[in-house]
Amino acid sequence: MKRPFLTVLLSLLSVFFLNAQVTLDYEVPKTYTIGGMTVEGCEFTTQNSVILHTGLAIGDDITIPGSEVSKAIKSLWEQKVFADIDIVVDNIVDDKIFLLIRVEERPRISSFSFKGINKSQADDLREKLRFIRSSMWTPEKERRARRIIKNYFMEKSYYSTRVNFNTVDDELLKSGVKIKILVDRGERIKIHEIKIEGNQDFSDKRLKSKMKALKEKKGWRLWARSKY
């Protein structure tokens, strides 16, 4: 996946050279009137919506090279629905320029499953994650899911839980992915005692009450507790 800042940086070059039949002089800026725009790669998003979010419109004047293309790409990235964006020159007729907007939409969740945990834990996490079929699978959604899963097991005294996500294309759903969530809880840890130093304004008891995930246990355990 291209990074947004990299795509914006390279957008001017891509506009000039990706269409071999179009001759443009990179060193001499020239103003054109947008004669038309087409979109490739849409599955769930409408072409009109893509064009609308570029901020460009037929009849607008655009300078090549100029900032309009990079602004249009930045505006599309801000929608957070695309994994890749490119804008190229499709054709030039006299003073009219025709643009081709190429997008790759983010994948959609087809199904998801867990590995490494039992059915009860998987059911609990399904309720917490609330993944919706056909909704977008984004980096933000992955980070949120990892945080929820780690917090869930931290409350059960697993403080070194590792979470990974494997995605596989679903041939039955266009742009769909099957997500397998791999969970390694690590060893369960019991905290014998919590010592607090330097507190002056609050009692130790009050501070400990705020540490919801950390609980002192009575007695010592000299072996790792079995996973359940």
The CATH fold assigned to 4-105 is Ubiquitin-like (UB roll) (3.10.20)
pLDDT for residue 75: 95
pLDDT for residue 200: 63
The CATH fold assigned to 108-184 is Ubiquitin-like (UB roll) (3.10.20)
Task: Give the pLDDT mean for 129-136.
Answer: 92
- State how beta strands 162-169 and 176-184 pair: antiparallel
Quick check: 70 pLDDT over 50? yes
Quick check: 209 pLDDT over 90? no
Q: Please give the C-alpha separations between residue 104 and each of 125, 131, 207, in angstroms, as whole numbers.
A: 30, 22, 49
Report d(CA 145, CA 153) in Å as an integer: 13
Quick check: 184 pLDDT over 90? yes
Quote the mean pLDDT of the chain. 82
Quick check: 58 pLDDT over 80? yes
Q: Reduced to 3 states, what is the DSSP secondary structure of residue 123?
A: helix
pLDDT for residue 8: 43
Q: Evaluate the omega torsion of the peptide bond into residue 29 and state whether it is cis, within 30 degrees of 0.
A: no
* pTM for the model: 0.67
Quick check: 60 pLDDT over 70? yes
Residue spans per domain, the chain: 4-105, 108-184
**The one-letter amino acid at 98:** F
pLDDT for residue 9: 42
CB 125 within 8 A of CB 114: yes
Task: Flag the least confident range among 37-51, 88-102, 123-137, 179-193.
Answer: 179-193
**Are both 4-105 and 108-184 of the same fold?**
yes
Quick check: 4 pLDDT over 50? no
